[in-house]
Amino acid sequence: MTTTPVAIVTGAASGIGKAVAEAYAAQGTAVVLTDVQDEAGEALAQQLRDGGAQATYVHCDVSQLADHQKAVKVALDTYGRLDYAVNNAGIGGDQGPTADYPVESWQKVLDINLTGPFLGMKAQIPAIIASGGGAIVNVASILGMVGFSGAPAYTTAKHGLVGLTRAAALDHSAQGVRVNVVGPGFIHTPMISGLEENPDMAAMLAQLHPIGRIGEPEEVANVIVFLTSPAASFVTGSYYAIDGAYLAR
């Protein structure tokens, strides 16, 4: 078994997940990258290996328990342990008022954004315990704390993820597994790239944040990596907003 820490990062092919994987690799943590964007995921893993890091890509549909179990098995088979997990994969889903929201879209958003992290933790926690303990960070949103018109499914899933994180922390902190959740504001990622193509929309999104701009993926990654580090050894069951004071209004 390696003494190098090992992390699983879901949704690692782009956006926040990519920034987290790069941050882990830069500090010497071995990374198992998962996503459904196989070409981008494989390319990132190769890029990290070319830079001297230990990195492996695994295809993972986060709505499927078997895929999470496969990712954990790859971590154990390749590196011998699992210390950290970042359940980041998510989708924005369709937009529309609650009464008109398509049932199929509702189910898809909840399957990926809420059931996905639950299934991830179900596979990850036993392996982390067996490795001597570690930490998990789930990636929610500012919409885990407040509502947003036209996003009933996304808002519900992210609120649920905050509650799930707190329950998991209560269940497993005594076993050496810390579980926290972060709530990014609007971040420069592919999820909002379509909105930012409209200059007026981009300006409006920036103005929602008292800091006066949209966040960068690396700013979220820095907090996530801290939360899984020994420096955060007494932090569990907590929600961390990374939002340029969006929630402080």
Residues with active-site annotation: 154
φ and ψ at 59, to 5 degrees?
-65, 130
Helix (H) or strand (E) holding 138: strand 134-139
Are the CB atoms for 5 and 29 separated by under 8 Å? yes
Are the CB atoms for 239 and 165 separated by under 8 Å? yes
In which residue are the tokens 């995921």 written?
A: 41
How long a stretch of residues is the chain?
249
Are the CB atoms for 217 and 15 separated by under 8 Å? yes
CA-to-CA distance for 69 and 83, rounded, in angstroms? 15
Are the CB atoms for 123 and 65 separated by under 8 Å? yes
φ and ψ at 147, to 5 degrees?
-90, 170
CA-to-CA distance for 115 and 157, rounded, in angstroms? 9
Beta bridge partners of 7: 31, 84
Are the CB atoms for 174 and 129 separated by under 8 Å? no
